[in-house]
Each structure stands twice: as structure tokens, then as C-alpha cells.
Amino acid sequence: MSTQAAGNGAANPTSAETPVAPAPRPNAHHDVLIVGGGTAGLTVAARLRRARPSLGVAVIEPSDQHYYQPLWTLVGGGVMPREVTARNEADVMPGGVTWIRDRVAAFDPEANAVETAGGRRIGYGQLVVAAGIQVNWDGIPGLKESIGRHGVCSNYSYEHVPYTWECIRGMRSGNAIFTQPKGSIKCGGAPQKILYLAEDYFRSRSKVRDDVKVIFAAPGDSIFGVEKYRVPLEKRVADGEIDTMFGHHLVEIRGEERVAVLERVADEERIEINYEMMHVTPPMSAPKFIAESPLANEEGWVEADQFTMRHPRFGNVWALGDCAGLPASKTGAAVRKQAPVVVKNMLAVLDDRRLEAAYNGYSSCPVVTGYGRLVLAEFDYDGQPAESFPFNQAKERRSMYLMKKHLLPLLYWQGMLKGRA
């Protein structure tokens, strides 16, 4: 990775030090360069274009497809076709934004530039890092070889999400295992949402439910971290006669044998369980090109002030979304609150004003508890409820389920990605 040299880099024949060449000049320069054309990146781009059209905004994004991933739970549950979750990236890119179809290989924040896999060097005035999270399909031995067959399914892949429904509706007897990995993941409630849908479907076929054992394995010590919502979800688990294996995570799959190897977090003791179907949430991490960069914190995420979203060491760098090193849940709802803060504070810096916008850690987890039922969990950095509606959101409601199914996708495509909500 290149660094910016001190001085002009000219050789000094009287100096014992080896001269350092100056950083190469960028091939292009943009007022605001956004790394990532997913939810966070496009929301910021759209808001910037609305707030200050004179700014030159560019987005680096290699993918030609854009997905609304929160609906993959309902796709896996047989409620919706996966095609409704996809759009062409070109169709959702905000007007007036330069789309750079490449991927970032390295950051050079000292020189205000990034280097791309395609060999370009791109300069910026302000940098927004919104590159999402890395899904590590090879993080569990046997997962990559088994996903999409041998009864191993996952809602975390557009390619494989239809197989989840195939596994659920084909289940007749045996163990149905649902897993959650150690560490941060996007949409922390998703592993249990599909658990509840599957159990509800099995229960609708009474003979099948009698012959199926539903197991939820997670490394934590409870079903949910916020007490107000933990209580009704514990009741849902009890009512569904779901076996919980808290303090355990999946460490190996032997697909052809249909064997799951779980490890106890406390002492690393392993247990083997036969399964008929298994929904796996793969381990995740910060993207490698971020973790190995000068922008990263000790855990590999982009270092950022949890309130202002600004990098503490590079004042023209901002981070939001799943790649940001914030003590908040990694959800699209969090991005909806983070994006306005990034835009307002960036404009304040450009105008030489004080930073006044602050993110309070808000996140939302619409926990689908069955077909037509949902608990809408909303909370802040302190784990305190931060609810939007004047009723008890810890209660399972059909209205909230319909909101997730119909209204939230509309808010996403026509609101967030257009800078309106």
C-alpha cells in the first residue's frame, strides 16, 4: 500500500536516509467517494445529491445486482419469490452519481486516495466507507461443500435461499437444526426468524410436528439481548417446544452423513448431532481489504466515532452500515438512522461548522414469530426500547408482519435509496 511522502521526495545526496517517492497521482478525483453500493452507500449518495447537488459524488461498486435482503426470511419461508428482492444496480443508482464498476483493493488515507482491483488510483475530498460485511462460507469446514444440498440451507445467499423452503416443506421427521455463529452478523435476529417460520409450518402439519425435533443452537446465553423482547420470544420458544442449545455454535458439517458438529463455547467440548435439515447462518467478519487497511480498528471494522460516524484519525473519512466499528446491531434500520448523521456532519465539515448530528445506536429487528405474526423490536445503544408506535411492540401482531412484508420494502426502494426516508 502506498503512503504519502513527506516533503517533495527529491533525492538528497548528502542524506543517509533513502529517499521516498511521492504517492502516484490519482487517475480521477471526486468531492465525495463512497465505497460500497449497497444499502448504506446508496442511501448516503442519494441524500448528498438532494442536499447539495453541486458535489461530485462517486460510488465504487462491482456488483450489477442490488438485493433487499430483509425479505429473504420470507423467501426461505415460502411466502415470496426471491426475484422480488432483486433490482439492477444501474436502476437504483441515484441520478447524477458516478458509478465506478470496480472494487477497492487498498486505502491510502494519508494521500486521500484509494486503489482499485482494476489498477486505478482514485482521489477524494471526503471518503465514505459503506462496504458491508464479509460472509465467510468457508469459515465452517464442510459448509461450502454442503450448502444447497444434503439438507443444508441458508437464507444468507440469494442463490441458495429457495433451498431453505425446499428443506422445510420436505421435512417429515428427524432433527431440524437452526444455527447462529459466534461474532457479529448482519441482522442478528434472522437466524431465529426462519426458526419460527419453520416450526409454525411443521405445526400446521400436526403429524410432521410430532415427528420433528426443532433445535436452535446459538453461542449466546439467551434468545434476545433486550429484556422487553426477550420475554415474549422465550414464550414463543416454549410454546413451540423448541430445544435451545445456548452456548453452542456450529464448527463442522459432514454433509453426506448429515452430521452437525457443535462446540460448547465455555470449554470447547464437541457434540455430534444427526440432522434431516439444517439452516446455517455462516460466520461473518469485516471485509479483508478493510481489516488490513489503516482505517481499521483492532477487530478489523472501520474505526468511527459511535455518535458522529467520523473516523477519529482521518477527519475526512466516514463509516456506516455493517462495516462500521460501532457497538450497534448491523441492520438496514440502523443505516436509515446513520445515513442522515453522516450527511449532515460531512456537510458541516465542508462548511467549516460544528458537528451537531448524532447517532444514538438505534436499530430495529422485526422478528417474524410465525406466518402472519411479528414482534417489532426497536432499541438504542443502551439496549433500551426506542419504539416507533404507541402500543406495546413486544406483543406479536399481524399488522407488524404486514408492515414487514409490504410497507418496509416500499420504504426501502422508494424512500431510503432515493434519499427521502
167 is catalytic: no
Please say whether the dihedral angle defined by the alpha carbons of residues 390, 386, 68 and 367, taken in this order, is positive or negative: negative
187 is catalytic: yes
- What beta strand segments (E) does 186-288 contain? 212-218, 243-246, 248-254, 259-264, 270-274, 277-279, 284-285
Least Cα distance to 228 among 418, 392, 37 occurs for 392
Range 334-340, long-range pairs (CB < 8 A, 24+ positions)? 334/361, 334/362, 334/363, 334/364, 335/39, 335/40, 335/43, 335/416, 336/43, 336/416, 336/421, 337/362, 338/40, 338/309, 339/40, 339/43, 339/44, 339/47, 339/416, 340/47
* Cell of residue 398, nine digits: 399481524
* Angle between helix 161-169 and helix 190-204 axes, rounded to 10 deg: 30
**153, 167, 187, 323: which one is catalytic?**
187
Least Cα distance to 95 among 382, 383, 417, 421 occurs for 417
Helix (H) or strand (E) holding 333: helix 332-350
Beta pairing class for 98-100 and 57-60: parallel
Q: What whole-number distance in Å separates Cα of residue 62 and Cα of residue 83? A: 20
Helix, strand, coil fractions of the chain, as percent rounded to 5: 30, 25, 45
Contact 234, 223 (CB under 8 A): yes
Spacing of C-alpha 312 from chain mean position: 23
229 CB contacts (<8 Å, ≥6 apart)? 365, 367, 375, 377, 379, 385, 394
**153, 167, 323, 365: which one is catalytic?**
365
Is residue 368 helix, strand or coil? strand
Spacing of C-alpha 239 from chain mean position: 30
Which of the residues are catalytic?
Answer: 187, 365
